[in-house]
Amino acid sequence: MPVTWRDATPADLPDIDRLWREQELRFHGTNVKVDRPQLFAGPEDSQAFAPYRPPVMRLRVAIEDGKITGFRYVEAVPEVILVTGSEAVMRSLACELVEECHYFRNKGFRSGWGLVPVKFAKSLGRFLRATPLRVWDNLRLIGCDFNELGD
């Protein structure tokens, strides 16, 4: 049976909630949190990504045989870019990046990331060891370089 995708509407929320509950059961006992952001904007929210609530930018549901069987959403995620050759700057990152996390969390973001060349990851991890920031060894980066899509 083919899967079709369409933009979600608030009427899809009961199915989305059911899928989240099923996901929580699958992840039970793994210590992996199943995120549940507020997906649709309220009257108090910015309309930057209407009808979604930032940092949610898009929400789509997957339909099989007339039934919603999956969904996906896209979030804007703060990306930290650091340019330095100074060890003192690197040492100062622990406090600076924790402050950054709190700053964006207060604006509704739930995660952030930065790319670190493999040869620097171990030392960065050492500088951040006393913080809640971690080098994610078990995650692999996937992405789209939009330049490859052409003009």
- pLDDT computed for residue 6 by the predictor: 95
d(CA 102, CA 133): 12
- pLDDT computed for residue 14 by the predictor: 95
Q: Which amino acid is at 111?
A: S
Local confidence pLDDT in tens for the 151 residues of the chain: 799 999 999 999 999 999 999 988 888 888 777 778 889 988 887 777 789 888 899 999 999 999 999 999 999 888 887 777 788 887 788 888 888 888 888 888 877 777 777 777 777 777 778 887 777 777 777 777 777 777 6
- pLDDT computed for residue 130 by the predictor: 80
- pLDDT computed for residue 96 by the predictor: 87
- pLDDT computed for residue 108 by the predictor: 80
d(CA 46, CA 105): 16
Give per-residue burial for 121-145: e unless 16+ CB within 10 Å, then b. Answer: eeebeebbeeeebeeeeeeeeeeee
Residues β-bridged to residue 79? 113
- pLDDT computed for residue 151 by the predictor: 66
